[in-house]
Amino acid sequence: EYEGLREKLNKTLLQKKQLEDEFDALQQEIYDKETEYFSNRTIATASGALKHVSTPGNIIKGFDGFTKSHSHHHHGGTASAASSSLNLNSLNTNSDFPIENSDRIFSLSSATFIKQLQ
């Protein structure tokens, strides 16, 4: 019974480690998606070509100005996304669409992320 319990505990500890890794991976994915969402805004046109757009509304800022402004083209230079590792010192490098930390409401909903920021 003792050995059985020990084995059970070891298995649970291993499972815990796997879940911790899964959690870290998800946090990273959320961070990267936010960077992608707020910086590289690329849509496909009717002809199939890709163009960078600046839409005036999103889930963070709201959609109030959506019908007022129109998308416009960006020529030359591809917006570079931030480093995919959770490098909090080098956020979005696209100066046209600067990402404020406060925009990252999804990452900021995790106290672990806030601790890392601090």
Partner 1 sequence: MDPSLALEQTLQDISNLEAEFHHAYEEIGANDGDIQEHQKKYMQKDSQIQKFIKQNGAIAEHPNESELNRDMQSELKEMLSLQKEKCKLANTALFMVAKHLSKLERNLTILEEDGVLAP
Partner 2 sequence: ELEHAKELAFLVAKREQASLKLLEAESDVFSDRCQIKSLKRNLNLSA
The site for partner 1 (CB under 8 A) is made up of 46, 59-63, 66-67, 105-106, 108-112, 114
Binding partner selected for residue 61 from partner 2, partner 1, none, CB under the kind-specific 5 to 8 Å limit: partner 1
Helix (H) or strand (E) holding 50: strand 50-52
As measured in angstroms, the least distance from the Cβ of 19 to partner 2 is 4
As measured in angstroms, the least distance from the Cβ of 43 to partner 2 is 10
The residues, ordered by sequence, that sit 6+ positions from 38 with a Cβ below 8 Å of its Cβ are 58, 60, 92, 97, 99, 103
Q: Considering beta carbons, is residue 57 or 81 the nearer one to partner 2? A: 57
Nearest to 71 by CA among 89, 92, 50, 88: 50
Q: Which of 42, 45, 63, 78 binds partner 2 (CB under 8 A)?
A: 63
Q: How many C-beta atoms surround the C-beta of residue 57 within 10 A?
A: 14
Query: Distances in Å between the alpha carbon of 6 and those of 3, 15, 26, 89?
Result: 5, 14, 30, 43
Q: Considering beta carbons, is residue 61 or 72 the nearer one to partner 1? A: 61
Binding partner selected for residue 78 from partner 1, partner 2, none, CB under the kind-specific 5 to 8 Å limit: none
- Position 23 contacts partner 2 (CB under 8 A): yes
